Amino acid sequence: MSSVATIPMDPAPLGRPRSVWRDAAARLKRSRLAMACAVVVAVYLAVGLLGFTPWLSGLLSHSYADSYEPPRWSGSVGLWMGTDIEGRSVLWKVLYGTRVALTVGIIAALMSALLGATLGIIAGYFGGWIDNLVIWLFSTVSSIPWILLMIALAYALKDRELSLLGWTFRLVGVPTIVLALGLTSWVGLCRIVRGEVLKLRQRDYVTAARAVGLGSGQILWRHILPNTVHLIIIDFTLNLVAFVQAEVVLSFLGLGVTDQPSWGRMIDDAKLEMMRGVWWQMGAATVAIFLLSLALNMLGDALRDALDPRLRGVD
């Protein structure tokens, strides 16, 4: 041990150590496109938070004009994107929809990341019967086409009362969708993480950590998990896109949000409105979804390039 201590150390290392994160952040900052996408996502987040204020919900219940007033630029801001069948402002509805979309997307994506990463890491690291069990679980779940399983789950959970640790809450709208999406979409990440951990656990530093006497928990937490975080983050952004789009499908099927306005409901309303020439409600929601998806998609790609430089030669 003493020989290690006597190795001369550079008293003043060259600045702070370059961590993966600083490296990735530097790479991201260099890409103008990625920064633009990050700004767009940040704006959406801000609008989403605005949806929680009583101010926006107040504007939402306000009836502006007759039903289906076309967009006009003069006059009240609320009329910029026209009105819906009840005379509510489409602009405020779109802004409020951001809250629903992001709440659903973020919580469901967190849930799926947590499930997928935990199961993947445990399966890959411990192997044996635990691994077999997890493989069986994700093979089974992935043999039911995603959309079918999601629909079945959303159908089963809709309007149910759930008791958990003495708390009873009704599954209406957002919680139903979050559960349906989160419980069905962890498979991809689980599979990738498991594969990565299988490789990682044979690395020298893991063997060294074990030789030094670190427990499994500490090895997983300090050595394995940090090396899979980039996979989790990339999966998270791509899931967000998928979930925002899935909300539209669920709304169409009548399994989505029913107690508040959402982008999916606005597009769903349009299937009857378009023939009457009412395009603004669907247009507004479509553009909102499109811009968010585009920004997240490109940000996801940029994140992948920044966090996993090995892949960069390819795409």
The stretch near other proteins (CB under 8 A) out of 103-111, 151-159, 203-211, 221-229 is 151-159
- Say how many residues touch other proteins, by CB under 8 A: 45
Query: Which backbone phi and psi does 6 adopt, to 5 degrees?
Result: -90, -5
Residue 43 within binding range of other proteins, rule CB under 8 A: no
Q: How far is the CB of 253 from other proteins (least distance, A)?
A: 6
SS (H, E, C) 165-216: CCEEEECCCHHHHHHHHHCCCCHHHHHHHHHHHHHHCCCHHHHHHHHHCCCH
Residue 31 within binding range of other proteins, rule CB under 8 A: no
Cα 185 from Cα 147, distance rounded (Å) = 10
Among 147, 170, 208, 221, binds other proteins (CB under 8 A): 147
Among 149, 193, 257, 307, binds other proteins (CB under 8 A): 149
**In the Cβ-directed half-sphere of 235, how many Cα atoms lie within 13 Å?**
25
In Å, how far are 54, 222, 226, 259, 264 from 149, measured between CA atoms? 36, 35, 31, 23, 19
Token pair 């394995």 is at which residue? 224
Q: Which is nearer to other proteins, 188 or 214 (CB)?
A: 188
The stretch near other proteins (CB under 8 A) out of 68-76, 81-89, 117-125, 280-288 is 280-288
The stretch near other proteins (CB under 8 A) out of 12-20, 41-49, 227-235, 240-248 is 240-248
Residue 226 within binding range of other proteins, rule CB under 8 A: no
In Å, how far are 38, 71, 178, 252, 261 from 281, measured between CA atoms? 26, 10, 25, 15, 12
Among 19, 63, 67, 139, binds other proteins (CB under 8 A): 139
Among 160, 199, 222, 312, binds other proteins (CB under 8 A): 160
- Cβ(112)–Cβ(99) below 8 Å: no
Distance of CA 62 to the CA centre of its chain: 31
In order, the DSSP letters of 31-96 are -HHHHHHHHHHHHHHHHHHHTTSHHHHHHHH-B-SSTTPPP-SSS-GGGTT-B-TTSBBHHHHHHH
The stretch near other proteins (CB under 8 A) out of 18-26, 111-119, 143-151, 200-208 is 143-151
Instruction: Give residues 291-310 in contact with other proteins (rule: CB under 8 A).
Output: 293-294, 297-298
The stretch near other proteins (CB under 8 A) out of 66-74, 185-193, 203-211, 279-287 is 279-287
Quick one: tokens of 45? 């987040």
Q: Which is nearer to other proteins, 224 or 255 (CB)?
A: 255
Q: How far is the CB of 267 from other proteins (least distance, A)?
A: 5
Cα 142 from Cα 252, distance rounded (Å) = 24
Quick one: tokens of 255? 């399994």
The stretch near other proteins (CB under 8 A) out of 98-106, 157-165, 187-195, 226-234 is 157-165
**Which stretches of the chain bind other proteins, using CB under 8 A?**
136-137, 139-141, 143-145, 147-149, 151-153, 155-157, 159-160, 241, 245, 248-249, 252-255, 267-268, 270-271, 274-275, 282, 285-286, 289-290, 293-294, 297-298, 313-315
